[in-house]
Amino acid sequence: MPSNRQVRLNGINIQISEQGEGPLVLLVHGFPETAYSWRHQLTALADAGYHAVALDQRGYGASDRPDGIDQYSIFHLVGDVVALIHELGEEQAVVVGHDWGSIVTWNTALLRPDVVRGVVGISVPPLPRGPLPPLTLSERKFGADFYQNYFQEPGVADAELDKDVASSLRRIYCGVPAAEPSPGFAGKYDEPETLPSWITEDELATFVEQFTASGFTGGLNYYRNLDRNWEQTAAWQDVPITPPALYISGEQDAVRMMYPFDDDKRAIVPNLRGVVDVPDCGHWTQQEKPDVVNAAILAFLQGL
């Protein structure tokens, strides 16, 4: 079973869940999730001879939640990953991310390739720095009510999602488009009568307890730095991600339609070792199809 503890990184407390001994594999969750989203991977990696560590990223779960929006930039998030690798006594790790965690791990491999033995991105592919700020591009492509643009106004999405945490998470995780959508993010989805097979009521209750305690503001602040990140990473325009890489995505993941893994994205990962398309799988990849994801990660690790 994984054990939990807190570590001090970059002036804040970060909660980690860890299991096993061996080469370090760091697991980085997305929105709205926590380290608990990697519960199926921690044991599988530990059993295969790895030190598997999942963190609650800053703003999430039992980790600290700095007040300032500017405390959630890509440099802060990558800084936490690098500091954690060193705090755990290692010079390098394989970094695995899902959703926003993928953005963090791709950027860790970009900004600090010296600490990354290999990088696995799940759902979100490596995203080249575009010609315009991301929120300008998303509004042009998807409209002003696109969720990433909706998230920008402090307090608005926070209040919507906090109002009924259990309902918000049920809607978001199940992703059943609403017949009559209500305003907001979770309101785009109907609340299902029963949960999908990949998550139990007890597992959902764990996430509900965590987000009831933490709120959603920390995670939303990641989106509020999208344009700031673009401005501050100008020096990395067109720089390739050089560590060995693997990309995994569910065939029914809506992210595939928003950000298809096309030639532009492949071009920035010259050491791409594979692409895994997971059948009958939506966005919550490592929770929906843990056996497929675990096998893909382990095969990639064995090839390093």
- 3-39, pLDDT tens digit by residue? 999 999 999 999 999 999 999 999 999 999 999 999 9
Percent of the chain with pLDDT over 90: 96
Which CATH number does the domain 3-302 belong to among 3.40.630.150, 2.60.120.40, 3.40.190.10, 3.40.50.1820? 3.40.50.1820
Residues noted as catalytic: 99, 283
CA separation (Å) from 148 to 61, 103, 219, 258?
21, 14, 12, 12
Tokens of 85: 């690798």
Cβ atoms within 10 Å, residue 214 = 21
Find residue 18's DSSP bridge partners.
3, 53
Query: Would you list the domain boundaries of the chain?
Result: 3-302
- 35-55, pLDDT tens digit by residue? 999 999 999 999 999 999 999
Angle between helix 201-214 and 165-174 (nearest 10): 120
pLDDT bracket for residue 180 (50, 70, 90): confident
Please report, as a single letter, which amino acid is at residue 287: Q
Q: Which pLDDT score, from 0 to 100, does residue 52 have?
A: 98
Q: Which pLDDT score, from 0 to 100, does residue 182 have?
A: 85
- For the cut 90, the answer to whether the pLDDT of residue 183 exceeds it is no
Under the phi-then-psi rule, with left for phi > 0, alpha for psi from -120 to 50, and beta for the rest, what region is 168? alpha
Average pLDDT over residues 239-250: 98
Average pLDDT over residues 182-205: 94
Q: Give the chain's end-to-end CA distance (angstroms, integer).
A: 26
DSSP secondary structure of 154-212: TTHHHHHHHHTHHHHHHHHHH-EE-SSPPSSSGGGEEPPSS--TTS-HHHHHHHHHHHH
- pTM exceeds 0.75: yes
Percent of the chain with pLDDT over 70: 100
pLDDT bracket for residue 118 (50, 70, 90): very high
Mean predicted lDDT score pLDDT of the chain: 97
Q: Are 119 and 244 in contact (CB under 8 A)?
A: yes
